[in-house]
Structure 1
């Protein structure tokens, strides 16, 4: 017969008196959430790595994709992404200062640093939304072949990308956007490019200083530029015009690049947006003196754990998606 031995300490150990690792229930649950969420982000990044390795010779070059800066025209590779990263890291610093001020029960400093954290997060989310809009809209345009490969255009004299507007002809043809309510098509046409394929092809043939650049990387790690004769032959393989990027077409190159961009940065952006909302709620409670009356600012510390996690994830996203 089994004997049951009581030490008299069960209540203090399992009844909440003895905290595992000295952490409260709320902190422990936040750590559980962070660990599970870290696995999700890891899955995204691992899948991205496998896909990029598989299509390494066709993968877009990030320095040629993320070249825009708000209110400035020109080629600024990765400048704005670096600015976004700096803002998010600085918001993590202000969150550390808010937690430290909470430990010292300095309400006014907690308010100040929480406010700065919220501003930093809002700037990052707004910047990411602008980056999405720019990525979706596109910049130069390209054509897609029957095999799904993207053909871009460059100026033979300067070696720089050429936009479709630089050479496409405006032909006297009536282009009607399909509308479901007009009975023209069985479904409504959701998107129509600025130029038809025929206008791009005819304009390309009439502009001898425009060459085609393929997705294929050469030995120098640059996109392969065809000569004029090869370009004229290659343009005949085009079957549609592509402007910008979505989950199906991508003017920058392989469509998986766009897919992972939307999923990874979108998932992270949702976390930052959620963090900003939570920070605002905690910020208002700090102003109302809720935590001052409790005698501790543990809620600030818990939301700080979440915010640091979001910042750390972005460091990995920035490194593996944008830099490597």
Structure 2
């Protein structure tokens, strides 16, 4: 015989039998959220805020680069000619491919194809490591010839020596290192989050 108890509800008091299972929230639901929908909406809002801050950060850097390039066109053009376009172009393709593999991992996770989702993330991590290795070789080639940011800027070697005569080449490389360094930091953080 089932026992009956009185349980309070927003609509008043209702009868509950002993055979009813008490309601427990889903295991993924954090204690400070009322529902899964509220938690999802908060996560979505957080992601949009993060993306907006990223756009603002990189927009500011691109504006700084554009203003300096407009004011010192010759120095910035000469300094940019010393960059290795093959490495830069290759890294751009690597980043585009890693964006695709992350999107595929989300697609597979939504389709409950966990194995494919995991492999997509493994490929993404591999591409991130390729990006970092290319960035390492790109930067060390400059460091070996004194092409540092800021006051340490002292270019030497046949490929870089002419930069000494350009007063704003230092600013070009300062912006270059900040932009590519922040990008590399984002890649490392992404690898950490995936792992």
TM over 0.5: yes
The match for 1:50 among 51, 62, 67 is 67
Match of 1:247 in 2: 150
Q: What is the CA-CA distance between 1:269 and the residue it aligns to?
A: 1.0
Q: What is the CA-CA distance between 1:23 and the residue it aligns to?
A: 4.9
The match for 2:193 among 261, 278, 282 is 278
1:204-237 per-position Cα deviation (integer Å, ceiling 9, x unaligned): xxxxxxxxxxxxxxxxxxxxxxxxxxxxxxxxxx
CA RMSD of aligned residues (A): 2.4
Which ranges in structure 2 are unaligned for 5 or more consecutive residues? 1-32, 156-162
Match of 2:123 in 1: 116
User: 5 Å matches for 1:118-133?
Assistant: 118-133=125-140
CA contact (8 A) 1:87 1:123 kept: yes
**Is 1:262 aligned to residue 165 of structure 2?**
no
**Is 1:105 aligned to residue 112 of structure 2?**
yes
User: 5 Å matches for 1:19-98?
Assistant: 23-61=40-78, 64-67=81-84, 78-98=85-105
CA contact (8 A) 2:79 2:172 kept: no
- For residues 250 and 31 of structure 1, the distance between their equivalents in structure 2, rounded to whole angstroms, comes to 42
User: 5 Å matches for 1:156-235?
Assistant: none
Structure of higher RCO (CA pairs closer than 8 Å, 6+ residues apart): 1
Match of 2:142 in 1: 135
Q: What is the CA-CA distance between 1:64 and the residue it aligns to?
A: 2.7
**Greater share of helix:** 2
1:239-277 per-position Cα deviation (integer Å, ceiling 9, x unaligned): xxxx43332225334210111011111111111111111
SS at match of 1:66: coil
TM-score w.r.t. the length of structure 1 is 0.43
Which ranges in structure 1 are unaligned for 5 or more consecutive residues? 1-14, 68-77, 139-242, 281-324
CA contact (8 A) 1:87 1:120 kept: yes
TM-score w.r.t. the length of structure 2 is 0.70
SS at match of 1:270: helix
1:89-110 per-position Cα deviation (integer Å, ceiling 9, x unaligned): 1111111111110001111111
Return closer, same or farther for 1:104/1:58 CA change in 2, 3 Å cut-off: same
